[in-house]
Structure 1
Amino acid sequence: MTESLNKEHVMWSLSEIQITERGNRRTGNQYLLKLMPEAEFHHSIIVTGVDGCFHISCETSDRVWVSDRQHNLILANTSGDTLHRVEDPRGDLYGLHTVNNESELIYIDEDYNINKLSKDMKTTTTFIEKTYSTWEPKCLYLSSSTGDLLVGMYMHKLWTGKVSRYNKNGQLKQTIQHSNTGKELYGKPNYITVNNNEDVVVSEHWYDFDNVSDYKDFRSGAVVVTDREGRHRFSYTEHPSGSVLKPCGICTDALSHILVCDGATNTVQMLDKDGQFLSHLLIRPSGIFSPCSLSYDVNTHRLWVGSGNNTVVIYRYITRHDALTGTSDVMEALREIQTTGTEIPHQGNQCLLKLMSPPKLLSSLTMTGVYRCYHISCVTSDRVWVSDGRNNLILTSTTGVLLHRVEDICRVLYGGFHTVNSESELFYIDRNYNINKLSKDMKTTTTFIERTYSTWRPWCVYWSPSTGDLLVGVNIYTRRTHKAKVTRYNQSGQLTQTIQKDNTGLELYTQPVYITENNNGDVVVSEFDAVVVTERGGRHRFSYTGHPSGSELRPFGICTDALSHILMCDDTTKTVQMLDRDGQFLSHLPVRPAREFVARGLSYDVNAHRLWVGSYNNKLCVYRCIDREDATTDKDKHFPDEDAFISSTSAV
C-alpha cells in the first residue's frame, strides 16, 4: 500500500540537506537583486507646502525634493515636514529638478536659467544661463555615472523638442533631436532620465505633423529612448492591449527596468530596457489613485511615487536573495503544493440558478419625464424609480406611465443618489444634502439623516436587504482637499461604521458615484476610474480597473445579482461588464438593442431575476440574465410570470 505524502516531513527533510562545494568557487557578488512578486507598501507621506507632487528627486533615503506646478519646490523628510523651500522655481514645468552625487539640487528657475543649490542650501549659482534662443529647458536629469546633465528642451514656435547634454562645467557636448532618417524624435519633453546602459529615456507629448491638420486634436504621448550616442532605439506609445499612453513621471531601477506613470490607466507600467511591456507594477494604488511622479532610490532600492494630491508613497519591489542557497525558494514552492482529498458533493436545492447566454430582452421602454436613465431603483417587478442627472426623479411602470415625481432632489447629483428598502420606501438625497425617506404611499417625506455643517456631502446611497443598513458614499471636494469614504447607518439612522482607508492607512476612495452590496456582505463602490470592493468589516479586498488589468475604465451604474456577480456599466468600452465576486472579469453582457445603446444605470430585481438597464438617452431595457435549472433533469424552468410581463410591455 502506498502511503500518502506528508508535505511537512518533506519540507523538514529538504531543509536538512547540506550542499558540499567542489572545485573553484565562482567569484562575484553573493547577493543578487530580484523582483518581488508584487510591490510592497513601505511608508506614506503627506507633503505639506505643495499643491500636488508632480515631480520627485531623492536626495537621501529619508529626504526628497518635491515640486508642484504652482511655483512650489520644497525639501521634505519622511514625516512630511518642509526642511527648505526654493523661492524661484519655474511654475509651469514637470520634471524641473534633479539631484547630483553631492546632494546638490539642480533646478530650472522662473527665467529658464538652470541653477545649482549647494548641499547646505546656503548658496545658489547659475549653472547654465538661458540665452536669447527660442529653446526653453523643460526637464532635467543628472547622470550619476557620467556626471552629465541631460536637459529636455522645447521650442513653442515649432512644437518640437530635443535633448541637450552638458558636462560638469556646463558646456554643451551633445544634442539629440532627429532620428537616422531625419525625423523629429520629440514633441514636448516633460520628464527625462538615464538607464544603466546610458540610454536616454524621455517621457513626452508628441504631435504627428505628417497626419495632422490641427495638432490639438492629435495629441498623444510616448516614452522615447535613444542610446548614449543619440541613435533612436524605440518609442513606447501604448500598452499591448491597445490602450493609449499618457506618460507622466519616469525613472529606471537597478535592474534596468523603465517605470512610467500612465495617466490614461492610472498605473505605473514596467518595461524592460528594450521597451517590452512586462507588467503593471501599480494599478490605481490606494492613497495615490493617479500616479504622476517617480523616483528610484538606488541605495535602498525603494520607489517613491507621487500623486496629483500631496501624497507620496514609498514601495519596495526589488529585494536581495542569496545566490548560493535556493532553499528558501524551494520551501516556498513546496508550501504552494495542494494536497488532495475526497470531497463530499454539496447537497443543495434541486432548483438551481444559472446564467443565460445570451441574455433575453424582455422589454424596451422609452421613458417620459426623464432625459436619461442614469440610475434605477426597483420597487416591484413592474415599478422602478429612475433619475437622469437633470433634476428629475420619477416613479414609472413597465408600461412607461409616470406615477410620481420627487421635487426636492439634489441637482448636482447624477449617480446612485436613491435606493429602495424592503417596505418599498424611497431613500434619496435632497437639494440640501439631507437623506430623506418617502413613504410607500408617497404621501409622507421625513428626514432620515440630516446633514450637519460638516464639509462631507453624501453622493450615493444603497439600502442593504440583508442587514437593513443604509450605505452612503460621501466625499469632501475642494481645491486642496479631495477625500471620500463610505458610512453605514442602522435602521434608526445612527452611524455604525466608516470605511475610508486600507490597512496601510491610505485612502481607498476618490469620489463614490454608485454603491451597492454583494451577497457575501462586500461593499461595492463605482468611482470615476475603478470599482473598489471592501469586505463587510471594511478591509480592502480589491480594486477593479478594467480588462485586462490596468486598462482604462470609466464605470457608471453598478449592481450585483443572485449569483454574486458584479455588473458594471463601462463608458470606455460602452459595455456592461460582468465580474465574479473576487473581481475577475468574466464577460461583456450583450445588452445593446440593434441601434446604439450606451448603458448608464443598472438595477437587479432579486425576486424576478431581471436586470434593468438604463441608457444615456431615455431608453430603459429589461433583460433576463439568470434562469432556473432543475438539477435532476438538467432542463430549464422559466419563471412563471415572464410571458405576462412581456405581453404587458410589448405595446410600448
Structure 2
Amino acid sequence: MALTQAQSLSSEILSIVNTIALGKRCYIFDMITHEPGNVSLSMVNPDLCDDSNLSYKQKKVIIALPTGCYIAYSGLLFYGFENMIATCGSNFEFRNGITVKNIFWTQNTPEANTYSWKPHGIAVSKFKSHVLFCLWNQKFRQQSIGKVMKIRTEKNGVPNNRTCIEIQSDKNTPLYVCPTYIAENGNGDICVSDVRAVVVTDAGGLLRFRYEGNSSKSNFDPYGICCDSSCNIIVADMKNDKIHMVDKDGEFLHHVTYEGIKMPRALSIDSNDHVYVGEWDSDSIKIISR
C-alpha cells in the first residue's frame, strides 16, 4: 500500500535539452521524429498552408501538414484522410492542399453499410514489416467503437492485404471506444491511447492490460504515445498537463514533467530516448531528456 502511494506521488523532472522553433504558435496534432533531430508535423492551423514562417531554413521540420491528420513515416509519409490511409513522398504534395494519389488502405469491409470507419493514429513497425492504424466508427457514447488494423507491407510500403489482422474485441467484449494514437513497443505489443485508458495487446491482438491512470481519482485523458528502448510506455495526459511513464506490464512508474509543461499532445522519441513533445498551443517542439 505504501509503495502504491509513493508511486502515485512520484514525478521525474526532465531537462529541455533542445527546442525546434516553429516561428508561430501552432496546435500540434501529431508528430514524427527523424534522425538526426528532425521532425515532421501535423497541425490544426489552416493558415499554415503558407508555411513560409516555419523553420525549414534550419532543416529541422521535414514535412508540415496544416490538416490535422494522423501521420507516420517509413521512407514514405503515411497519413489519414477522410476514410482512407494514403502515402506521399514529400511536403510539396501538400502546398496546394491534399490530393490523394497513393492509397494504402481504404474502407471495404462488410460493416461498410453500418459504419463509416475514420482512420486515427498510424504507426510503422520498428522492423518496417507492417503498418498499424486505429479506426473509429464516428458514433458517440455507447455506440462508439473502434478497432486496430495491422497490415503487412511489401517493398516500398505496398500493402499485402492478404496478411492482415483486425483487433477489435477480447472475449466478445469491445477493446476500444475511440482509439486515438498508436505505437508498437519493442516487445511487439500494440499500445493504443483510448478514452480514459491506454489499451495494450500483444502482437496478435490478445489483451495484455489496460492502464487507466495512476489514481482512482485521476481524470486520465491520454493522447500521444511512444515507447522507449526499455519498452516503457510514455503517454501524454494533455488536459492534466502531465506525461505518464508506464512499464511494459502496465505498472505506473512516474510522471514526467519539464519546465513550463502545458497541454502535451503529440509525442515522439528518437534512438537516444530523447522525447519530443508537441504541445497543443506552442511555438516550439520541446526535446526532453534525463
2:264 corresponds to 1:599: yes
- Cα separation, partners in 2 of 1:376 and 1:363, compared to 1, 3 Å: same
The partner residue of 1:474 within 131, 135, 152 is 135
Preserved CA contact (<8 Å) 2:31 2:278: yes
The partner residue of 2:22 within 352, 361, 367 is 367
Instruction: Give 5+ residue unaligned stretches, structure 2.
Output: 6-11, 94-99
The partner residue of 1:484 within 146, 158, 169 is 146
Structure number with greater Rg is 1
CA distance in 2, matches of 1:445, 1:552: 41
CA distance in 2, matches of 1:442, 1:379: 18
After superposition, where does 1:199-348 map in structure 2 within 5 Å?
A: none
- Cα separation, partners in 2 of 1:364 and 1:473, compared to 1, 3 Å: same
Instruction: Give 5+ residue unaligned stretches, structure 1.
Output: 1-239, 241-356, 626-652
Q: What residue is the counterpart of 1:435 in the other structure?
A: 85
Aligned length: 257
| TM superposition shift of 1:358 | 4.8
- Cα separation, partners in 2 of 1:509 and 1:396, compared to 1, 3 Å: farther
Q: What residue is the counterpart of 1:419 in the other structure?
A: 72
Preserved CA contact (<8 Å) 2:32 2:73: yes
| TM superposition shift of 1:397 | 5.7
The partner residue of 2:249 within 572, 582, 587 is 582
DSSP-derived class of the 1:363 partner: strand
> CA offsets per residue over residues 603-625 of structure 1, 9 Å max, x none?
0112x332101112123111224
The structure richer in strand per residue is: 2
| TM superposition shift of 1:471 | 0.5
| TM superposition shift of 1:466 | 2.3
CA distance in 2, matches of 1:541, 1:365: 36
Most deviating of 395-404 and 595-604: 395-404
Q: TM-score, normalized by length of structure 2? A: 0.78
The structure richer in helix per residue is: 2
After superposition, where does 1:519-558 map in structure 2 within 5 Å?
A: 519-549=186-216, 551-558=218-225
- Cα separation, partners in 2 of 1:546 and 1:486, compared to 1, 3 Å: same
Preserved CA contact (<8 Å) 1:426 1:438: yes
Q: Among the aligned pairs, what percent are the same residue?
A: 24
- Cα separation, partners in 2 of 1:586 and 1:401, compared to 1, 3 Å: closer
Amino acid at match of 2:196: D
Preserved CA contact (<8 Å) 1:396 1:404: no
| TM superposition shift of 1:442 | 5.6
> CA offsets per residue over residues 352-407 of structure 1, 9 Å max, x none?
xxxxx753321123323662223211122232111223456989669486554447
2:278 corresponds to 1:614: yes
| TM superposition shift of 1:543 | 0.6
> CA offsets per residue over residues 239-269 of structure 1, 9 Å max, x none?
x9xxxxxxxxxxxxxxxxxxxxxxxxxxxxx
Q: TM-score, normalized by length of structure 1? A: 0.36
Q: What residue is the counterpart of 2:119 in the other structure?
A: 458
Preserved CA contact (<8 Å) 1:439 1:445: no
- Of structures 1 and 2, the one scoring higher in RCO (CA 8 A, sep 6+) is 2
2:26 corresponds to 1:376: no
CA distance in 2, matches of 1:610, 1:398: 23
C-alpha RMSD of the superposition: 2.9
Amino acid at match of 1:457: K
| TM superposition shift of 1:493 | 1.8
2:159 corresponds to 1:493: yes
Preserved CA contact (<8 Å) 1:565 1:580: yes
CA distance in 2, matches of 1:401, 1:519: 26
Amino acid at match of 1:494: N
CA distance in 1, matches of 2:33, 2:210: 27
Preserved CA contact (<8 Å) 2:227 2:269: yes
Amino acid at match of 2:281: N
CA distance in 1, matches of 2:188, 2:204: 9
